[in-house]
Structure 1
Amino acid sequence: MDFTQVTYTRPDPAAFLRDIAAGAAALEAATDADAALAVAKRITALINDVDSQGMIAQIRHTIDTRDAFYAQEDAFWNDFEPQADAAKTDYLKAVLASPYQDALKTIYPKPYFLKAKDLLRTNRPEVIDLQQKANALASRYTDLIASAQVDFDGQTYTLAQLGPLRDDADRAVRKAANAAYWGFFAAHEAEFDQLYDDMVHTRTAIAQKLGFKDFSEMSYVFMDRFDYDEDMVATYRHEVQTKVVPLVQKQRAKQAKRLGLDHLAYYDLGVQFKSGNAKPEGTATQLVQAAREMYHEMSPEAGAFFDHMIDSHLLDLLAKPGKASGGYAEYIPAIQSPFIFSNFNGTSGDVDVLTHEAGHAFQTYLAKWIQPGDCVFPTFEAAEIFSMSMEFIAYPWMPKFFGTQTAKYRYAHLQAALEFLPYGILVDHFQHQVYTHPDWTPAQRKAEWRRLEKLYNPEKDYSENAALESGIYWMRQGHIFESPFYYIDYTIAQVVAYQFWKRFNVDHDPKAWQDYETMAKAGGSQTLLELLATGHLRSPFEPGALDDTLVAISQALDAVDDAAL
């Protein structure tokens, strides 16, 4: 299979809606288990195929947002997806009402039924037009970020390409590069403000039409947070604020000392060492080959997976003009294959992609036995466990990528994961504040971001950048615009991934890999807390759940002579 040659076909909306409706009627009319199962298999295959066409269009659009054909297809899917989701609700009603549940459970795992109940609450015909509008607004954000052409030091860069310069070892260079980067957001601040204001009001209207108090309340339903509630999240948030934030401040003080600074300015935060951050050694091709060797040494299944990714052209890794920002892994049911998208820019983040996004992709590769394509990935927070854990599992192979800089990479990566926890909580907390106060002005939203930023990230000193001090940092966080409330998931997964870090790198637990693979194969057939039980891991929502891991992390960081790095 060669992904570049995979055919994309726009589905016929009328035919799809008609076939789904017929499937719902046939399931309701089924007179025995075999008939019900036959309908379920047929409709599942239909949905998998149509969803796959949407994924192929989205992938090719993000690879080059300037491609007129796929820009047109992106607009089509923005309109069609809400219609398709609404059409599926009648079929889901038939599934949930069917007397042949035992037969249906042979094709649909438990989370499928839980998701079905959630979808029936969030996908209804009366909000299709609003969902279409929300999709179009998200695409405008994607295109705005992708359009950025920033002039710096005589050259023109995309935002991703500025990454290495923003973390340059030369303080004057990184200060200027950061000023240029944030200058783009400051120059387009009114546009970002208006775009987000439209999003907030559109999403609020959706929630209220569906009977929710606000979009914040609705988020626990559309994000399929099956195993936990707001009170459990409040406990978790408190644990991070009281235990992780002080530990991060301790590490930031050590960082300032390493850099020979009295205190860190905002443009210093990404630089860990005076000699510069660890950078991967080799070209993009060489890094991919190193990853191939790593996965073959990791396990036979991992090696076969990465061979498939390379040989089938399922990787698009380099940053280039017109390409959407960020990185992601997708699973395409029609070809039973994952796809990895990223923006290599010569930093250690390139290697993180080959572990993080490959962790996602490997999980779906192992779980492709699950028939409904939307259950191959588990729920969002569970899915991130596999990507973030793979970053830590890969530690023994880092010399392949960093050579003599390996110690610098491991130290910085372990610290960065710790620093991420408060930031991830901040992004989620901010969104809950925004959507419970939907009539806030843009200025009030920015003020609230800065208030929360001082609570969770008190080390951020923006005294040299008035725009950042006013609270615009969140404008660079695509999730806030494109995937609302998809962020605390990363932090929940990070806490769990740290447990795997300890098992692999501190305890050298011989059962750790088996647990990781068993969880990955289970994928979306289990809920979050069920997966944690499968992997013999502790729930992050328990009071004190972080304590042992934080002690181990602190000891590991303190054991390193960081000044020597």
Structure 2
Amino acid sequence: MRRGRAICRLVTQNPAPTADPTPAPQAGGSSPALPAWDLSDLYAAPDDPGLAADLARAEAEARAFQAAHAGRLAGLSGDALAAAIATYERIEEILGQAMSYAQLIFSGDAQSAENGRFYQTVQERVTAISSHLLFLTLELNRLEDAVLEAKLRQSAALARWRPWLRDLRVFRPHQLSDELEKLLHEKEVTGRSAWNRLFDETIAGMRVEVAGEELTVSAALNNLSAGDRSLRAAAARGISAAFGERVRLFSLITNTLAKDKEIIDGWRRYPRPTSARNRANMVEDEVVDALVSAVWSALPRLSHRYYALKARWLGLEKLQHWDRNAPLPEDSDVSIPWAEAVARVRAAYGAFSPELEGVAAPFFQKPWIDAALRPGKASGAFAHPTVPSAHPYLLLNYHGKARDVMTLAHELGHGVHQVLAAQQGYLMSSTPLTLAETASVFGEMLTFRAVLDAEADPRKRRTLLAGKVEDMLNTVVRQVAFYRFETLLHEERRQGELSQERIGEIWMQVQTESLGPAFDFSPDYSVYWAYIPHFVHTPFYVYAYAFGDCLVNALYGVFREGHPRFQEKYLDMLRAGGTKRHQELLAPFGLDASDPAFWNKGLDVIAGFIDELERDVQASQGTAAPALPQTGTG
């Protein structure tokens, strides 16, 4: 079910900063108001009579639908079954709109007790209503393949739903009895969802002391990319202290959710902790294994090599964890006004495809983006598709940094993808996570190349290139490291509850392996796993970012080579929504993600950027500069 699902911006280094009530000054010293969204296209307010009416109507229709069809799907003709699915979709979309609104309200201020109560109330109501709809997917999966195929051949109306039925039946071997499925569905609000809410409200309410100032978690994390090393170190100490004080709670949340997942995975007969996520992403375990293996094998020529270069660039013998996202010495760190950020992103989209920019334009002409900084606002950034009958909303937290411009380009990519895919309808517009990151990362790449190509100053170009390399390492290496951390944690959790110290040991092991010998990790870094929301909300989500980045690197290479009708094919790929798998979507571009060599094409792009930086730095330091290590073939 896609109800209330936001496509989240990756947590690479720090979540995009939020919740500092004073916006960072824009260029020229002014602080113009940043855009905030207006959710009235969904509902006017939490007490809007329209929301109550929609939920009442959905409940009545769901009960009637269950009374008319439960236990009878097998006997329906193809046309009648198609009509039943269409009715199901219509009711689900009503519930999806209500749930989306509640989630967006909560994201706007998670510190508000009233918002938390409203979110929980709507979630409980939607869960109760949707329990009357649950039978449809369960009964469809009980149909034998031959029976369903006969219905599909007999009815053009039903054939329209073939992609949705195909994806639904991926879970057929893992489906439980109707009673158990209903129990799990209804207990979600007091199970995983409740732990998610506890995590969110805990993070939102935390304050971190940095250099004598009380900051939100997001604002403190933002200081890890400050130019002043003493400020970075102070922020790191404050974050470690704040999470160290609460690490027992975060360990309890993590252990409980991992055990909960183990129990459900056991009942559903999933072979390993990652399998359920891979099925949801419509990607084979072997394809994910190939991606992870390729990235891990490439560490010496990617992250290890780059951070050795960065240490030299910063004049440090060893990097500390708070140096990982430090700006480079040549980085002027000029604040970029919001209007300039918008102009850069729109120009890059328009240069690629005027049609794509036309789809993006309403996000800036209407109140569909919330970029303002305020207490309680959700950390990070996301694009929420809401429902096809409305439009997506984007959340980000804009501090005027170059990375914030790329975050805007990223989330806008999600937004235009969701708009284009909306024509597929509520059930088939949503894409697997692996494909959901394609348009977002591609939008980032378009914006980066446009900015880089327009820059004539060699030093500024070098800084831009280094920033892009760091973003790509954060997107690929760091996310795969997160995935390995989750994998080790979930596998070990099957032997019993993990202590907070053991979780920290696993974290430090994976971080040391992924970032390489240029770092000297201090013990206080062992609690940094606790702020990553993906571990709590969507286990094993993170590899989708690496999947998307490598896929886009290969896709962008095809574009740069002048592939015929690329823009047309690309927009068609976005319009397909969830109706096609990655093999079908990539075939028009001559790409195949099941080929192990495919991933190395994407990794080679990152390595090539590092090669260019290395040559540039060595040239600037003189020919006597020692070469950086280049071991590993990937």
TM (norm. structure 1) is 0.88
Say which SS state the counterpart of residue 103 (structure 2) adopts: helix
Identify the residue that residue 284 of structure 2 maps to in structure 1.
228
AA at the equivalent of 2:515: N
1:248-327, aligned counterparts within 5 Å? 248-276=303-331, 278-282=333-337, 284-327=338-381
The AA in structure 1 aligned to 2:469 is L
* Matching residue of 2:31: none
- How far 1:138 sits from its partner (Å)? 0.6
In structure 2, the partner of 1:75 is 120
Per the alignment, residue 538 of structure 1 pairs with 592
| Match 2:580 to one of 526, 530, 533 | 526
1:138 counterpart residue number: 196
Q: Provide the rounded CA distance (Å) in 2 between the counterparts of 1:211 and 1:546.
A: 30
Report the alpha carbon displacement of residue 280 of structure 1 after superposing the two structures with TM.
Answer: 4.9
| SS of aligned partner of 1:340 | strand
CA contact (8 A) 1:256 1:262 kept: yes
Taking the TM superposition and a 5 Å limit, the aligned residue runs for 1:46-57 are 46-57=91-102
**Structure 1 residue 413 corresponds to structure 2 residue 473:** no
CA offsets per residue over residues 234-290 of structure 1, 9 Å max, x none?
A: 3332211112443221111111111111221111110241134755522x2442344
2: CA distance, partners of 1:135 / 1:460: 39
What amino acid does structure 2 have at the position aligned with 1:263? K
Which of residues 156, 176, 179 is equivalent to 2:237? Answer: 179
Using the TM superposition, give the Cα deviation of residue 161 of structure 1 relative to its aligned residue in structure 2, in angstroms: 2.3
Q: Distance in 1 between matches of 2:124 and 2:271?
A: 26
* 3-state secondary structure, aligned to 1:320: coil
Partner of 1:377: 430
Q: Distance in 2 between matches of 1:549 and 1:150?
A: 38
C-alpha distance 155-485 of structure 1, shift in aligned 2 (>3 A): same
Please state how far the C-alpha of 1:124 moved relative to its aligned partner. 0.6
Q: 1:118 aligns with which of 171, 175, 193?
A: 171
Residues 66 and 194 (structure 1), Cα distance of their counterparts in 2 relative to 1, 3 Å cut: same
Give the distance between the partners of 2:210 and 2:456, measured in 1 at CA: 31
Give 3-state SS (helix, strand or coil) of 2:597's partner: coil
Query: 1:263, 1:462 → 2: CA distance?
Result: 6
Closer, same or farther: CA 552–456 of 1 in aligned 2, 3 Å: closer
The offset of 1:203, in angstroms, is 2.5
Aligned pair in 2 of structure 1 residues 219, 368: CA closer, same or farther (>3 Å)? closer
Mapping of residues 3-402 of structure 1, within 5 Å: 3-7=39-43, 9-10=51-52, 11-12=55-56, 14-15=59-60, 17-22=62-67, 24-25=69-70, 28=73, 32-80=77-125, 83=128, 86-95=131-140, 97=143, 100-101=151-152, 102-118=155-171, 121=175, 124-128=181-185, 130-132=187-189, 133-212=191-270, 215-221=273-279, 224-229=280-285, 231-276=286-331, 278-282=333-337, 284-333=338-387, 335-371=389-425, 373-398=426-451
Deviating more after overlay: 186-195 vs 122-131: 122-131
State the 1:217 CA deviation: 4.4
Deviation at 1:57?
Answer: 0.9
Within 1, Cα distance between the matches of 2:515 and 2:69? Answer: 50
Equivalent residues of 1:515, 1:536 under 8 A apart: no
Give 1:189 deviation, angstroms.
Answer: 1.2
Task: State how far apart, in whole Å, the 1-side matches of 2:182 and 2:417 are.
Answer: 34
CA distance 1:87–1:490, change in 2 (3 Å):
farther
2:40 is matched by which residue type in structure 1?
T
The answer to whether the 8 A contact 1:27-1:36 is kept is no
By relative contact order (CA 8 Å, sep 6+), the higher-ranking structure is: 2
Query: In the alignment, what sits opposite 1:440?
Result: 497
- 1:163 offset after TM fit, Å? 4.3
SS at structure 1 position matched to 2:136: helix
Contact 1:4–1:313 (CA<8 Å) still a contact in 2? no
Query: How far did residue 510 of structure 1 move?
Result: 5.5
> Cα deviation per residue 1:361-397 (whole Å; 9 max; x = unaligned)?
11111111102x2421211111112211221122343
AA in 1 matched with 2:325: G
What amino acid maps onto 1:134 in structure 2? R
**More displaced 10-residue stretch of structure 1: 98-107 or 189-198:** 98-107
Q: Give the 3 Å change call, closer, same or farther, for CA 279–502 of structure 1 in structure 2.
A: farther
Structure-1 residue corresponding to 2:19 = none
CA deviation after TM superposition for structure 1 residue 63, in Å: 0.8
1:91-110 Cα offsets, whole Å, 9 max, x none, are: 12444545532435454251
Partner of residue 491, structure 1: 546
Any conservation in 1 of the 2:414–2:436 contact (CA below 8 Å)?
Answer: yes
1:467 to 519, 524, 532: 524
* Higher alpha-carbon deviation: 523-532 or 67-76: 67-76
Structure-1 separation of matches of 2:163 and 2:325: 42
Which secondary structure does the structure 1 equivalent of 2:219 belong to? coil
What is the percent sequence identity of the aligned residues?
Answer: 17
* TM-fit CA distance, 1:54: 0.3
Q: Secondary structure at the match of 2:111?
A: coil
2: CA distance, partners of 1:441 / 1:459: 27
Question: Using the alignment, how far apart are the partners of 1:348 and 1:188 within structure 2?
Answer: 32
Tell me how far apart the structure 2 counterparts of residues 435 and 15 of structure 1 sit (CA, whole Å): 41
Cα displacement (A) at 1:401: 11
Partner of 1:559: 612
Question: Which ranges in structure 1 are unaligned for 5 or more consecutive residues?
Answer: none
Q: Which segment drifts farther, 386-395 or 547-556?
A: 547-556
Whether the 8 Å CA contact 1:281–1:403 is kept in 2: the answer is: no
8 Å contact from structure 1 (residues 495, 546) kept in 2? yes
Alpha-carbon deviation of 1:533? 1.7
* 1:553 to 1:437, Cα distance in 2 relative to 1, 3 A: closer
**Partners of 2:333 and 2:164 in 1: how far apart?**
41
Q: CA deviation at 1:334?
A: 5.1
Q: Are 2:456 and 1:427 equivalent residues in the alignment?
A: no
Q: Which has the higher mean CA deviation after the structures are superposed, 483-492 or 446-455?
A: 446-455
Which amino acid letter does the alignment assign opposite residue 312 of structure 1?
Answer: K
Larger deviation, residues 19-28 vs 518-527: 19-28
Gaps of 5+ in 2: 1-36, 622-634
Equivalent pair of 1:279/1:347 in contact (CA under 8 Å): yes
| 1:407 CA drift (Å) | 4.8
Q: Deviations over 1:191-232 (max 9, x none)?
A: 2112212222222233334444665444444xx243412x44
8 Å CA contact retained: 1:145, 1:324: no
The alpha-carbon deviation at position 82 of structure 1 amounts to 5.0
Higher alpha-carbon deviation: 403-412 or 445-454: 403-412
How far did residue 347 of structure 1 move? Answer: 2.4
Distance between the aligned counterparts of 1:375 and 1:401, measured in 2?
39
Q: Which amino acid aligns with 2:433?
A: F
1:328: Cα distance to partner?
0.8
Q: Return closer, same or farther for 1:204/1:549 CA change in 2, 3 Å cut-off.
A: closer
Change (3 A) 1:435 1:129: farther
- Residues 206 and 95 of structure 1, relative CA distance in 2, 3 Å threshold: closer
Is contact 1:278–1:409 with CA below 8 Å preserved after alignment? Answer: no
Indicate how the Cα distance of structure 1 residues 324 and 547 shifts in structure 2: closer, same or farther if over 3 A, else same: closer
